[in-house]
A and B are shown apart, each in its own frame.
Chain A
Amino acid sequence: MEHMGTAISGDNVSVSWLNALELLLREDRDVVNLAVSIRNSLEEDPRIRAILDRFIASRRADGSVEPVSTVANTIFPSALYIPRLGSRARSHLYEMSEIGRPVSRRRNRFGTYFERLVAWPLEKETLNQLERTVTRIRGLLARGRKTDNSLELGVFDPRDDEELTHAKFCSVVGIPAGARQPNHGISLSQSHQFESHGR
């Protein structure tokens, strides 16, 4: 086996993305289990974003690529989160995303990552993983804990995703409570390498 995974990091979203992209270009193939760590996950470099937006705009005609804002919205629809609502901000986010879901589903037949974070389908109801994790983090911080091994939110659903054999999935979003900065995030993009061990 060549290796089990690759870790990339950067100071903000843009630099981390750029470092990952450069790695993929160097490798010129799929990278197995790429983990990207972003030290300041709420920061973006507008110069990198502007270049990327121009590049994507020039290729939007055939619909093969989506704008950065659209991709970001599938992970977290920030326009629906209104911090000035204080303690009601999360419930407002969940309510608005639920109302918009029937329309969103027309473009995203299998739902978005965010839908799976807040409305993971169970047999008769849905599970809000995000709310459960936020509550758990608050409980840990209140008890002075800075690490935990259960702060993961799953987005891979084998009932739907097995049909998408060409797609790459980010199957876990980890939130390390012990990170020095509260907005530190990790995403793991899993790709699998198969080996033969003889016949």
Chain B
Amino acid sequence: MTNNLHSTPNVAASTSITPDQLRRRIAAALARVRAMDTKELWDEILNGGGDCQMDSKETEVVISILEHEFHRELAKVEDLEPEQMTTLTAVTDLIMAQI
């Protein structure tokens, strides 16, 4: 089995990314985890009031994908308590604090 992290665009580490841009990158990674079209998921998020629930295992994969894209660790062990990883907004806040 190939661990193909390169199927999402690799972006340079940047501190200038906005929360909305990061939110869209997380949504794109989540769409890959859920094996669905990114636009379809984004529409679901917008229709759901701008947020969505995430399973802690989905969040681990999303963080791992983004760490590969940003070339840095984005979550420490203390950030990974299950209750901290349950929504798109919570994960955006967590990662935004690291970049």
Please list the residues of chain A having a beta carbon within 8 angstroms of any beta carbon in chain B.
60, 63, 66-67, 69-70, 73, 77, 79-80, 82, 84-85, 91-92, 94-104, 106-107, 128
Contact = CB atoms under 8 A, between A and B. Distances in A.
Interface of B: 1-5, 33-35, 55-58, 60-61, 63-65, 67, 75-77, 80-83
What 8 A-B pairs are tightest by C-beta distance, nearest first?
A79-B55, A100-B61, A77-B57, A100-B60, A103-B60, A106-B77, A70-B82, A103-B64
Contacts of A67: 82-83
Contact of A80 (B1, B4, B58): B58
B56 A106 contact: no
A167 B60 CA distance: 25
B84 to A, nearest CB: 11
Given A67-B82, A79-B55, A91-B1, A96 B61 contact: yes
Contact of B64 (A63, A66, A102): A102
A99 B58 CA distance: 10
Contacts of B61: 80, 96-97, 99-100, 103
Which of A69, A94, A96, A106 lies at the interface centre, i.e. has the most chain B CB atoms within 10 A of its CB?
A96
B1 A95 contact: yes
Nearest to B55: A79
Nearest to B58: A79
Contacts of B56: 69-70, 73
A73 B57 contact: yes
A6 to B, nearest CB: 31
A94 B1 contact: yes
A94 B77 CA distance: 23
23 contacts: A63-B81, A67-B82, A69-B82, A70-B82, A73-B55, A73-B57, A77-B55, A79-B58, A80-B57, A80-B58, A84-B35, A94-B1, A95-B3, A96-B33, A97-B61, A99-B3, A99-B64, A100-B61, A100-B64, A103-B60, A106-B76, A107-B80, A128-B1
Given A79-B58, A99-B5, 5 more contacts: A96-B61, A98-B3, A99-B64, A100-B60, A100-B64
